Amino acid sequence: MDGPVDMVYMYFRYHPNKPAAYVALAVFALIDIYLILRIRLQKAPAFMYKMIPLLTMETLGFVMRIVCFSTPINSGKFLVSNLFTVLPPNIVSLINYNTITHMIRLSNLETDKFYLNHKKLKILSIVCTVVPSMLQGIGGALQTVADLRPIGLNMAIAGLSAQLAVFTSFFLFLIFVTREKSIQYQVEGVRNPKKKALIRVYIALSLLTIRLIYRLVQSSTGPTGPATTNEWPLYVFDALVVAFAFLVLSTLNSCFPKKDEEIFIEIDEEKCRSSRESNVSDTLKEEPREEYKL
């Protein structure tokens, strides 16, 4: 009886609370079901579909966490449990970036500025998400090997620091987007959809930043620090804030046109431009007549 308990303690650095793990699993499973139903039934924008596998992975992470202390634990189970609960919150930040690029696309801006080109911003957001996540993932994997633990810890800290720098830059860009009047779009039946979408992004970014700072403190203080040797910070500053972030982002579809309405909106705007050009043309044609009468 003492053997398996000691092995669990060796990996986790504390004795995991089983009821807390089951509650977290139930919460993420319910949010996952809600997200799937909302996205599929309400025809959310394509970029929101990324959240389904991410939230499912987070849910499976807690399944593996339960498996780790319910069956004989080994490094493979522990690593999978960690990866499944660490990577989704990192990658879900891509939804924040995609929200802004989708907003810019719907605004139909005609500009050569890099920071207002939704295609280039999309590529940049992928790079800014993948690179820090890879550093954290590889760093976490290396920490399971005793000889490579210092290298893995430094890589994890580097990845977390890089992600914090990205979050800070994105926050400044959010302020610019909020003030930029040329970034505007319409959604039938929704008043000021841009403002409502940005509020959700600000909230999600704040929640993910709290979780990121916690992970940075955890890595910086090492395996004997209070953030590592106590379980409650994991649920308060990680699981809880990630659950709220997913819940907030799952309502973004109410701030954007449905997938089958985007073409209609773009066509409608094209008609408006054609109408304006036609009115200008008619005005120019009428001016000589007025001059002739005089």
Q: How confident is residue 294, by pLDDT bands cut at 50, 70 and 90?
A: very low
SS (H, E, C) 20-67: HHHHHHHHHHHHHHHHHHHHHHCCCCHHHHHHHHHHHHHHHHHHHHHH
Query: DSSP secondary-structure letter at 16?
Result: -
Q: What is the pLDDT of residues 159-173, one digit of tens each?
A: 999 999 999 999 999
**What's residue 272's pLDDT?**
44
Class of domain 2-269: mainly alpha
Q: What is the pLDDT of residues 247-265, one digit of tens each?
A: 999 999 999 998 766 643 4
What does the block give as tokens for 146?
A: 């005793």
**Do the Cβ atoms of 135 and 100 come closer than 8 Å?**
no
**What's residue 93's pLDDT?**
94
Count CB neighbours of 203 within 10 A.
15
Average pLDDT on 20-46 reads 94
Query: What is residue 193's three-state secondary structure?
Result: helix
Query: Has residue 293 got a pLDDT over 60?
Result: no
Which pTM does this prediction carry?
A: 0.85
**Do the Cβ atoms of 143 and 159 come closer than 8 Å?**
no
Residues 6 or more apart whose CB falls under 8 angstroms from that of 30 comprise: none
Domain ranges of the chain: 2-269
Query: What is residue 190's three-state secondary structure?
Result: strand
Average pLDDT on 75-96 reads 91
The span from the CA of 227 to the CA of 234, in Å, is 8
Q: How confident is residue 275, by pLDDT bands cut at 50, 70 and 90?
A: very low
In this structure, what are the phi and psi dihedrals at residue 182, rounded to the nearest 5 degrees? -70, -20
